[in-house]
Amino acid sequence: MRTCIGCRKRELAADLLRTVAVRDGNGNYSVSVDTSASMPGRGAWLHPDPKCAELAVRRRAFARALRIAGSPDTSGVNEYFESLGTPEHRGIENR
C-alpha cells in the first residue's frame, strides 16, 4: 500500500504512478515520472490523475515526500499527463 501525495488516499502501488527527484548539473531538482518503478532514489506516489498532481503541486508535497530542499521543477509530471493526449490530462501548473 502506498499513499497518493496529492489526495492522500491509500492504494496499491500498482494503481499509482511513482515519481522521483532527478538532480540536474546545476544542483536543481526536477520531478520525473518513473513508469517502470525502477529508477534509483526515493519515490513519491501519485494517482494517474492530473487533479492529484495539481493538488500535490499546490500543497508542495513533492519536495516533502521526496525529502529535497526547495521547490522542484514538476514540468516532467505535466509532460507525462500531456503525452496521454486527453483534454482532462492537460494544464497542471508548475508553481
CATH number at residue 50: 3.30.1230.10
In a domain, 32, yes or no: yes
In a domain, 57, yes or no: yes
- 50-86 pLDDT, tens per residue? 999 999 999 999 999 999 998 999 999 999 999 987 5
What pLDDT score does 55 carry?
Answer: 97
Taking CA atoms, 82 is separated from 22, 75, 79, 88, in Å, by 20, 10, 5, 9
In a domain, 11, yes or no: yes
- 14-39 pLDDT, tens per residue? 999 999 999 988 889 999 999 998 99
What pLDDT score does 95 carry?
Answer: 46
In a domain, 28, yes or no: yes
pTM of the predicted protein model: 0.83
Domain count, the chain: 1
Strand 17-23's sheet: what is its strand order? 29-34, 17-23, 43-46
What pLDDT score does 25 carry?
Answer: 87
In a domain, 94, yes or no: no
Q: Identify the domain containing residue 34 by its residue range.
A: 2-89
